[in-house]
Amino acid sequence: MTNKNKAKNSKIKNSIIKNSRSNSKDTIRRILQHIRPYRFQLVLSLVFAVISVALTLYAPILIGNVVDLIAGPGQVRFAGIMPILIQILAVVLLTSAAQWLMNLCNNKLTYYVAKDIRTRAFHQLEILPLKYLDSHPYGDTISRVITDVDQLSDGLLMGFNQLFTGVITILGTLGFMLSINITITLAVVLITPVSLFVASFIAKRTYRMFKAQSETRGEITSLVEEMVGNQKVVQAFGYEDRARETFDGINERLRECSTKATFFSSITNPATRFVNGLVYAGVGIIGAFTAMRGLISVGQLSCFLSYANQYTKPFNEISSVVTELQNAFASARRVFDLIDETPQEPDAPGALTLRQVDGGVELRDVSFSYNPEVKLIENLNLSVKPGQRIAIVGPTGCGKTTMINLLMRFYDVDRGEILISGHPARQITRDSLRRSFGMVLQETWLKTGTVHDNIAYGRPQASREEVIRAARSAHAHSFIKRMPEGYDTVITEDGGNLSQGQKQLLCIARVMLCLPPMLILDEATSSIDTRTEIKIQQAFAQMMEGRTSFIVAHRLSTIREADVILVMKDGRILETGTHEELIARKGFYAQLYESQFAN
């Protein structure tokens, strides 16, 4: 490798380390900001930690006094021992109570902080632009909101429970040891930096490993969610072996990350214990010579040995806490990265809330593309009169669904503007604009809950009679009544206990209950049998009466009654007209129609 390449690699490495340190400091700062509202619990926890440590450190003094009372043969003073034993019992009981109260404060503090961060992350998901969700694996996003927040709460809980008491124990023990003998205390303090150096050396290397572990865990969660949610497709196409290979590859990487992270974190405790052993041995040797010279009593030496043990023990706990906190900070960084994602553009100041919607829609020189390098829709113009039925047809990828996304403001146009009832879409609140449309999509979605709750999703206050009326209009009432609990039957996640056609009928009933002034039907009957489709088309005809409707369809037989048919190709409108007009032109639409009905 040339010197130039070495210098370049060294520069990149130093940049990565610098960014890692900066991210770690920023993460700690963000966590402290979330802790601030619960500073009362934090202060209480510190108070109980001080009480617990003070009582714990007072106990060796009492024990040393007992040792001095039985130091020589025939010199046991039982009258003085009993009061001290009662004091020791009282100290133990008070210490246990203080530790219990401290843990109670820490639990409340930790889980409230975790709840706030998880709530913030979930709220962020609701305001993120759709392009973020489209471009990130669902499993990884779920892992950030659930698993990573759990990792953070576990780390914080361990930190609060052991870090506070550990630091206070170290300081308190030093104070008590100094009050007994300065020389021995100095020997303890001189050996201590070795333990700190070992813990710091290991902690610096664990953060990056735990971060890689969290990212790989999110990757494997995404794969499992994808495979489980689409198991029928996996089995139908014989993808099991390739899915297993992909899973094994990610799982192996997770094993490597976890092994390295666990290895470095696991050597922290033995390394610090070795240093602690040196401290204890040093105290024992120096203390023995000091006692032999008569500078301290045997009881004070036993007290000193107890303090040496208590002084070194927190270093083991703190080193374990530091390792756990590195894992927590790595997980927190992923959650904060999600929270810091740029949200969708907020509603314009003073944005209009649509109340009276006449159904007029106009697109003026609209241009849009998901990827700036790949053109999709350019200079699209369209004028839709109130109450018209607009059918949109064309080959796959021509921009039909994209046009629906723009109407609903799931995406905003790059150039040009869309007007709804004469008002620019960007000057209308998203909520009121979307409530003006009723959507029935090809991809069905149902939530876990009863049939009634799913139909009343857009109108939770709807009565049972209104829900039944909507279900009858959608021709869903008959199969609902055959279900075990009728409208109170609980549907599993995404309607797993229903057929695709039944789920589609419930989605149609949901829109029929709301009856907004404009409708969007994107392949709404693609999963329904022909006989039911005829009935649904009749219901749609009744529902669309007097309402502006956009119908996306591949089956051209379903749009023959449309007022205007837009024929799209490559993001442009090639032809417009009624079915008869377009057939007579013998253009692109006529070719599409003839290709479907060639037989």
Instruction: Classify residue 8: in a domain, yes or no.
Output: no
Residues (pLDDT < 70) of the chain are 1-23, 71-78, 192-193, 195-196, 199-200, 202-205, 207, 229, 232, 269, 316, 319-320, 323, 493-496, 526-528, 557-558, 597-599
The candidate with the shortest Cα–Cα distance to 434, out of 404, 464, 462, is: 404
Residue 138 and residue 146: Cα distance in Å, rounded?
Answer: 12
Q: What are the angstrom distances between the C-alpha of 444 and each of 71, 306, 455, 523? A: 83, 68, 13, 11
258 vs 214: CA distance, rounded Å: 9
Is the C-alpha dihedral spanning 221, 226, 227, 231 positive or negative? Answer: positive
- Does 79 map to a domain? yes
Predicted TM-score (pTM) of this structure: 0.67
Based on the fold, state whether residues 426 and 326 are members of the same structural domain: no
CB atoms within 10 A of CB 414: 14
Q: Where are the beta strands (DSSP E) in 436-583?
A: 437-440, 449-450, 490-491, 518-522, 548-552, 564-569, 572-577
Torsion over CA: 272, 273, 274, 277 (sign): positive
Residues whose CB falls within 8 Å of the CB of residue 463, separated by 6 or more in sequence, listed in order = none
Mention every residue, 6+ apart, whose C-beta is less than 8 A from residue 516: 435, 436, 437, 438, 547
| Contact of 506 with 453, CB cutoff 8 Å | no
pLDDT at 475: 84
For residue 231, the model assigns a pLDDT of 73
Does 447 lie in the same domain as 333?
no
- Residue 484's domain spans which residues? 442-515
Q: Is 563 helix (H, G, I), strand (E, B) or coil?
A: coil
> Going by DSSP bridges, is the β-strand pair 564-569/389-393 parallel, antiparallel, or unpaired?
parallel
Distance of alpha carbon 387 from alpha carbon 151, whole angstroms: 54
Q: Which amino acid is at 200?
A: S
How far apart CA 589 and CA 46 sit, in angstroms, is 76
Which residues have a Cβ under 8 Å from the Cβ of 338 and sit 6 or more positions away? Answer: 121, 124, 125, 141, 144, 145
Contact 570, 379 (CB under 8 A): no
Sign of the dihedral defined by the CA atoms of residues 339, 345, 350, 354, in that order? negative
413 and 510 share a domain? no
Tokens describing residue 155: 């780390």
* Residue closest to 101 by CA, chosen among 41, 159, 157, 55: 41
Both 80 and 104 in a single domain?
Answer: yes
**What is residue 558's DSSP assignment?**
G
Helices (H) and strands (E) in the chain, counts: 21, 12
In angstroms, the Cα distances linking 44 to 28, 110, 161 are 21, 14, 13
Which amino acid, residue 323?
Answer: T
Query: CATH number for the domain including 309?
Result: 1.20.1560.10
Element holding 233 (H helix, E strand): helix 231-236
Q: Are residues 225 and 372 in the same domain?
A: no
Q: Are 408 and 271 in the same domain?
A: no
Nearest Cα residue to 30 out of 140, 152, 126, 129: 152
Which of 339, 370, 391 is at the close of a domain?
339
Residue 260 CB contacts under 8 Å (≥ 6 apart), including other chains: 209
Determine, yes or no, domain membership for 396. yes
CA atoms of 512 and 509, how far apart (whole Å): 5
Per DSSP, helices labelled H in 128-146 are: 130-135, 138-145
CA distance 272 to 192: 10
Shared domain check, 78 and 179: yes
331 and 428 assigned to the same domain: no
Would you say residue 344 lies in a domain?
Answer: no
Q: Is residue 32 part of a domain?
A: yes
SS3 for 539? helix
Write the DSSP symbol of residue 428: B
Q: Is residue 7 part of a domain?
A: no
Find where tokens 């889980």 sit. 111
For residue 474, give the CATH number of its domain. 3.40.50.300
In this structure, the answer to whether residues 318 and 376 fall within a common structural domain is: no
Predicted pLDDT of residue 468: 93
What distance in Å separates the CA atoms of residue 559 and residue 392, rounded to the nearest whole number?
A: 9
- Are both 86 and 165 inside the same structural domain? yes
Find all residues with CB under 8 Å of 310, minimum gap 6, and list them: 56, 57, 60, 169, 173
pLDDT digit string (tens) for 102-154?
Answer: 889 888 888 899 899 999 999 988 888 888 888 787 778 888 888 888 888 88
Residue 331 has a pLDDT of 86
Which pLDDT value is given to residue 8?
Answer: 45
Query: How far from the centroid of its chain's Cα atoms is residue 340's Cα?
Result: 12
DSSP 159: I
Q: Is residue 3 in a domain?
A: no
Return the pLDDT at 514: 85
390's enclosing H/E stretch is strand 389-393
Same domain, 213 and 320: yes
Instruction: Please give the structure tokens belonging to residue 291.
Output: 């006692």
**H or E stretch covering 20:** helix 3-35
d(Cα 558, Cα 474) in Å, to the nearest integer?
Answer: 17
SS3 for 37? helix
Residue 110 lies in a domain: yes
| Pair 488, 583 in one domain | no
Strand partners, 575: 567
Give alpha helix (H) positions in 340-446: 400-407, 430-435
Query: Reduced to 3 states, what is the DSSP secondary structure of residue 362?
Result: strand
Please give the C-alpha separations between residue 65 and each of 93, 182, 304, in angstroms, as whole numbers: 20, 20, 12
- SS3 state of residue 455: helix
CB atoms within 10 A of CB 80: 13
From 305, 339, 373, the end of a domain falls on 339
Which residue among 316, 339, 362 closes a domain? 339
Is residue 377 within 8 A of residue 403, CB to CB? The reply is: yes
**Helix-strand-coil percent breakdown of the chain, rounded to 5?**
70, 10, 20
Number of domains in the chain: 3
φ/ψ region of 490 (left if φ > 0, alpha if ψ in -120 to 50, else beta) reads beta
